[in-house]
Structure 1
Amino acid sequence: MNWALGPQSLVHDFNILKNYFSYLKKDATVIITLCPFSCLVSSYNKQHNFKYYTFLHPATIPGFDESEHVKALTLKKQNVLRDAPLHTLKGLLGYYKRCASSKIHSCDFKKSASGFIEGWKKQFDISNLDACLSKKHLQEQELRASNLSEMIAFCLERDLRPVLVIPPIHPELREYFTDSFVEHYINDFLKKGNIQSAYFRNYMFDHRFDSDNTFLIHYS
């Protein structure tokens, strides 16, 4: 499964934690990763949950579908080298060629940042990132804040240490997130959702990560 693909919402994160927290020792740190739009709700179809069917309890998968469950388990049991040898070998050859070249993937960060922003605005139905949240988005923020607070409480009740983290972003993408955006979409969200005052680190504007190399893939 490609774990770079969505959904990776707080709801899914919490369900993973519920399923596997027992493997953590007392005082273990649980990193809760937040994104600029973690306070909003996305709608997903049953295919979006596909990767979760192989390792989460059915009761914790939103909109659980038995046919998708069976399909996911069937794929998990397949021997890809046996069932799709040419496809597998092509993938391996491509990987080794990239490793041998030891090159860094180039990227037009300005274009990429613009694409991300336009995609998010369409996904969450936002016309102006600097404006106050709409009534609909405020309701979503309340719901997600409740999810976050419940997740933090879950950790504390089990002697786990929750840490909230917003990862660094490229300077080109950072340009789109103004003080007004941060106040409405991040600070207001945390005021509602982090009532337990869990440790929080925001690396969005941390200039230690300004180098392009931080956001590129190296093959060595």
Structure 2
Amino acid sequence: MTTESNVKTAAEKVKSFAMGFIGSMFVALGFSYFSEQSSYRIPRILLPVYEFLGNIGLAIGLLILGAALLYAAYAKFKNNGGRPAVILIVLPLFLVFSFVITKWTENGSKVKEKQQISGNKDNTNKEISRPKLDHEKANAYLDQLELLVDKMTKAKELKDDTAFKTLEAEYFEQMNQLADIIPQLSKTDKYADFAHYNAQLAQKINQMRGIE
């Protein structure tokens, strides 16, 4: 054999290892995708399968594709003068490694999701303190809105629908004051604090109204 043919044969053997590794990853992902995931790594060729059959179809498709690549890797290595015993040792090692990587990635994603959910809950439940404003109308507006929240809360607890509807109408009327307050307050560095606190009070009211 010439040097050129030796290089070509070696390159084909390297390709067979690459095919084997990719195939093993597909097999590992296929087994993990039988259970629903928050996200999927989908080969382009299997995208229609996922769209029509969901994660189960994707899992089966990955297993078939992975098995085909593993067989192709074995055949390519053997046809290029490789010892079958070598590839039969390497491919199972690839499979074990792929399962470990897939499991590790899956666990990492779950931990990250839990942290994000926990962080979102903390941000949602965190009460924003009322800002100190040098704006008479804005302070008066917040005084009225805080009082309105208290009254609506009591009406809700007492299941007094008539009183609640009256307070709801007052809330809509009070919101008209923002047309005068926002243009002036937006020119100051306290506008963001006012907007956040106002949004917090509005959210409480909307929750009582059954909107959020």
**Bin of the TM-score, shorter chain as denominator length:** under 0.3
Structure 1-normalised TM-score?
0.22
Q: Which has the larger Rg?
A: 2
More helix by share: 2
**Taking CA–CA contacts closer than 8 Å with sequence separation of 6 or more, which of the two structures ends up with the larger relative contact order?**
1
More strand by share: 1
Structure 2-normalised TM-score?
0.23
